[in-house]
Copies of this chain bind each other. A is one copy, B any other.
Amino acid sequence: MCFPLSDNGHQVHLWGTWLDDELLEGAKRGRHPRLDRPLPEGVRLFHAPELARAIRDADIILVAVTSEGFLPVFEKLLNTADHLPPVLGLTKGFVESGERVLTVSEGAELAFGSRWPEGKLRWVSVGGPVKAVELAELIPTAAVFGFQGSCEALDMKSMVNAFLRPYYRVFPLSDMRGVELSSALKNIYAMGMGICDGLYEGLGIRYYHNFKALLYNQAIREMALLVSTVGGRRETVFDLAGIGDLFVTSASGRNGIFGRRVGLGGTPQQEYDHMLKAGEVAEGYHTLALAHRYIGQRHGGLIGQLPMFRAIYDVLYGGASPREALLRFAEMHGQRQ
């Protein structure tokens, strides 16, 4: 996100948590290690203890930590700031508050309310098909900024204009819940499509596009059902935040790779740990466990209408074999109407 902001003449402060020293040091030496290229000129880097300086006079704050790290970091932000400008949330997943599972924006609101009980959090959930490394290469990219409430109160126009570039198109959408859930859920379904890849790779079968498309399609159906059940809009899933993002996420990325390893016969926890040691977080694995609890706490009966979700859950947390779970799903799929 530094790139479109810098290209638009904005001053960007990039702060890293206590886990990001290596990234910051790499960037300081001239190359961001993950992007494998220099950051835009003028981006100022801040280490963990320098948060107060990093956010001083900020017009917008972007939060892009993983979902597991979100609440501690966001609370640190709240305790450091004397007021909070609008926040763009790039975190994808769910968070835990005691026994309760919340969406990221719900978690943010809860934490915000503890700090400023009278205040109102201005929050925007970012979604859409965006691999950061490609955006940094200025590949044409489209994103969705999901908000709720009044477009004017959030000054969405200025927010969007801060980012808009010929290579980066931003579409505001008044369905924050739909956007943040799509962003979280697509990681789960991308793991499922990865499991399918691993399964067929293991069987030595190269062409199974029909099944892959069936899974992709079913993922979108289930995401639309889930989103609409919790108050989001189906149309959000049928656009960039859903079909666009799942398209990109299933084509490349850590969640698909993790699923593929499991489909090839790996044990989920071991494969997850293995990737983690290499610095790769398959965030969908954790997201799936929380999503399962989230659905159970709010709409327990819904699980029965999500056969693909269940198949993925059975493989990753229930010890089911990928082959059995996927074929059982394919059979059940036929009974959907």
Contact = CB atoms under 8 A, between A and B. Distances in A.
B214 A141 contact: yes
A134 interface: yes
Contacts of A167: 330
Contact count band on A = 35 or more
A164 to B, nearest CB: 7
A133 to B, nearest CB: 7
A216 interface: yes
Contact of A239 (B140, B171, B221): B221
B330 A212 contact: no
Interface in A298-337: 327, 330-331, 333-334, 336-337
Query: Can you tell how many copies of this chain the complex includes?
Result: 2
B210 A140 contact: yes
Contacts of A210: 129-131, 134-135, 139-142, 248
Interface in A164-198: 164, 166-167, 169, 171-172
A248 B217 CA distance: 10
A238 B237 CA distance: 10
B238 A142 contact: no
Interface of A: 129-131, 133-135, 137, 139-142, 164, 166-167, 169, 171-172, 205, 207-214, 216-217, 220-221, 224, 238-240, 243-245, 247-248, 251-252, 327, 330-331, 333-334, 336-337
Given A129-B210, A139-B211, A214-B244, 19 more contacts: A133-B207, A134-B207, A134-B208, A134-B211, A139-B205, A140-B330, A142-B334, A166-B330, A166-B334, A210-B248, A212-B247, A213-B240, A213-B244, A213-B245, A216-B247, A217-B239, A220-B238, A224-B238, A243-B243
